[in-house]
Amino acid sequence: MIDVSGTRGAVLEDPRTNRGTAFTLEERRHLGIEGLLPPAVETLDRQLERVLGHLDAKPTDLERYVYLIGLADRNETLFYKTLMSDPARFVPVVYDPTVADACLAFGHIYRRSRGLYVSLEHKGRVAEVLRNWPVRDVTFLCVSTGQRILGLGDIGANGMGIPIGKLQLYTACAAVPPEGLLPVLLDVGTTNAALRADPLYLGLRREPPPTEELDAFVEEFVQAVQEVFPGCCIHFEDWKGTDAIRLLARYRDKVLCYNDDIQGTASVTIAGLTTALQIKDERLKDQRLLFLGAGSAGIGIADMIVSAMRLEGLSEEEARARISLFDVDGLIEPSRKDLSAEQAAYAHDAGPSDDLVSTIRCLKPTVLIGVSTTGGAFTREVVEAMSALNERPIIFPLSNPTDKCEVSATDAYAWSKGKVLYAAGVQFPDVELDGQTYHPGQANNFYIFPAIGLAVYATKPKRITDAMFIAAARASADQVGPDLRGKGMLFPSQANILETEITTAARVAEHIFDHGEAGVERPDDIRAWLEALTYAPAYPAPSR
């Protein structure tokens, strides 16, 4: 029975209790909402039919995004019913690539707060602010400063669209119950002067603080989370690269947390590499990898590949020697004086080079990965150089949104004469070339982080390790069968994403139990146990 305390009609204002036209006539009388709804009593499926009609009539994905966020504000069950009815269609609308446009316009399309804004002005009172969130049992908290959103750079409080969207994917892709999910924007100001001058900008109109002050504020926030939401997992998302690396290193062994830009991106990259190497019948430890981009994502992917190579028998030194980085100032090599400690670990003996094609010809990589956010950086000459060196070159342009992608699928297949094993950070349509159809993969983190979320939600570990992400990567790759690999596909079908994520989560949970890291007893059937914990968008049975 729904709690009828409070103002009559309040049940229609709460998206978690509102069923709209699905309330029975008896429930309407009991709740005092007779006359506040049309007379018809509808099923959830009938409501979904109407929603799909509305979405079909929208001219752009940004307008579909606005409509769906409004639906989430009105009726959470119907919102998730919509997303989970066709995830391949709707995940790109509520998340990447459409969320990039939504974030750029966030202050202009804002209608209702869907998360918690913790700003520098709350310094010294962060725990007090966290207690204002009406749900006490928060299981996951996704937090961003908005300082490195996708390929958009620092957009400050406009970045709130990312934590909101990420957590919606926990539920839409892996059926993690939504009531325990909390989006947080840690507002520390923005370097974006144009935003600060925008009268509709919703964040602090100031420059970010020095590193020491930022770290003290983050420390207060992390400790406040432990106090107010004990057992909650902190999901760091879209922080400035140097901050992301430093803060993950500081907290990963102290609290339950992870950084999706670093660990999730690395994991999905390894998943795609694993499938590509199955197609080539080769081992990861035998590859030579070159990265364009040496920020937090590049370093994170490289570090996790080192861990995966070590599992195949290489030493850390041997594994690092097989990975090179190239950034805006050229090849990462010992004569560079501008390197961070994390970058210096990949500074191998080589002469300086600021030419990517020459570097490829010199280092002879088998794998080229783009995390540069520089659209078109993998030119025809780059792709042809990789194709001349490799019968099946592996090229992953991972930057997003679409205009930041290093090379489009159409160009990659055409310039490699169909030889490339390709996955991008965004989804490109199939490519027709010389009478053959190619299926570009999408190395999107949504194959990984929702499954990690479900496994962590169920097993309650104290910490999250890189080994859990490697287990997730292998589980994802194992679900790309010979038929899909034969088509050059590197990731499972998005149409069955819930099945895929539960399978991946079961493998991660198995790893957690095997290594004694779980906070609960091991069940006899891990998959059945996980399925029993998942969320399904359905209304409760009518009240009697």
Token couple for 537: 């968008």
Torsion of CA 42, 48, 51, 55, to 10 degrees: -160
411 - beta bridge partners? none
- Nearest in space to 371 (alpha carbons), one of 295, 442, 447: 295
Please state, in angstroms and rounded to a whole number, the distance separating the CA atoms of residues 202 and 84.
31
- How do strand 431-433 and strand 289-292 relate by DSSP bridges? unpaired
Q: Is 95 a catalytic residue?
A: yes
CA angle (231 as vertex; 227, 232 as ends), nearest 5: 85
- Burial class from Cβ neighbours inside 10 Å (0-12, 13-18, 19+) for residue 147 reads buried
Taking the C-alpha atoms of residue 49 and residue 51, their distance in angstroms, rounded to an integer, is 6
Q: Of 166, 240, 422, 438, which residue is the catalytic one?
A: 166
Q: What angle do CA 335, 296, 231 make, to 5 degrees?
A: 145
166 is catalytic: yes
Per annotation, catalytic residue among 95, 201, 447, 535: 95
Residue with token string 């690999």: 485
**Cβ–Cβ < 8 Å for 479, 492:** yes
DSSP-assigned letters across all residues of 292-352: E--SHHHHHHHHHHHHHHHHTT--HHHHHTTEEEEETTEE--TT-SS--HHHHTT--S---
- Residue 180's closest CA among 114, 230, 232, 222? 232
Catalytic residues: 95, 166
